Amino acid sequence: MTETIIWTVSVLTVLGLLLSLVLFWVARKFRVEEDPRIDEIEKTLPGANCGGCGFAGCRAFADAAVKAGNLDANYCPVGGPETMKKVAAILGCEVKETAPRVAVVRCNGSCANRPKVNEYDGAASCKVKSSLYGGDTGCLFGCLGCGDCVAACQFGALSMDAATGLPVVDEGKCTACGKCVAACPKRIIELRDKGPRGMRMYVSCTNRDKGPVARKACAAACIGCGICAKTCRHDAITVTDNVAYIDFSKCKLCRECEAVCPTGAIHGVNFPKALDKEAVKQRIAERKVKEGDASTTVGMTEKKEAGNE
């Protein structure tokens, strides 16, 4: 019995040693050399592994950056400009300046603006709720209020407001990683440029129904009237599928669209002064009068020249 145990242990030990040698030889033979800069870049990155850069994690981002040799298509939103400068120094290239972004909730459907038409008694998940039906209000496009976006945020930048039933973004914590954007089944969250000193304009509605239907479902819905687009002098606003959209790259923050919006669907945030709608409307009216006089003068001049001919 003792000899059997000794032989068993001896055979297993020798077999283990042989297999270890084989594994060591295979590892050395088929070893893939990695660029040491990958480790350097990974250590420089914040280590959030949030996927906001478009890669599975920080190491995948580092590997892609090293292989590309530049940062034209790679950017870490969590680390921001300072981190990207360090990464660029490791790669020996330059990094393009990128404007900081922040998540924006494009829904006006608060409890007061968008009354419920039924009671949902299922799983507390926007994804589940969206797969079952349009929602417990008359709007098929607005926030479902279960907080999937809050759960997806790794930085504590989102919370649900009990009074409005809508998610609230903490700009100081938001890294624009895009996790909340991907988590929202209604696609009401968008990453937008923060704007100078945090000031920005956006249409807080994604309802594509026609005006009367949208307004019936939500008192502050965009009704696609187009007044904002006609008022904007910078071609920053378009109306598509009955809902307006502001291109933040063209917006000059004049707030005229916010003043003329009949439903309050357009929001201006972080401005130092409250919007005086009447004063802005008066300014627009005076400008239109002047422009009308100018066009009339041009028309009369053209007619006079034609008569002389």
pLDDT for 96 equals: 80
What architecture is the 36-91 domain classified under in CATH? Orthogonal Bundle (1.10)
Tell which residue, 191, 194, 162, has the closest CA to residue 179.
Answer: 191
What is the rounded average pLDDT of the residues 276-299?
78
User: CA 113, CA 109: separation in Å to the nearest integer?
Assistant: 6
Query: What's the CA gap between 148 and 145, in Å, rounded?
Result: 8
Residue span(s) of the chain under CATH 3.30.70.20 come to 103-191, 195-287
Do residues 173 and 156 touch, judged by C-beta distance below 8 A? yes
* Surface-to-core class of residue 307, CB atoms within 10 Å of its CB (0-12 exposed, 13-18 middle, 19+ buried): exposed
The CATH code for residues 103-191 is 3.30.70.20
CATH 1.10.15-classified regions of the chain: 36-91
Asked whether residue 293 carries a pLDDT value surpassing 70, the answer given is no
pLDDT, tens only, 177-216: 999 999 999 999 999 999 999 999 999 999 999 999 999 9
205 token code pair: 């509605």
Q: What is the pLDDT of residue 98?
A: 82
Q: Is the pLDDT of residue 50 over 70?
A: yes
Looking up tokens 């923050």 gives 253
CATH topology of domain 195-287: Alpha-Beta Plaits (3.30.70)
Q: At what angle do helices 80-91 and 36-44 cross, to 10 degrees?
A: 160
- 244-270 confidence digits (pLDDT tens): 999 999 999 999 999 999 999 999 999
Q: pLDDT: is 28 or 307 the higher one?
A: 28
86's enclosing H/E stretch is: helix 80-91
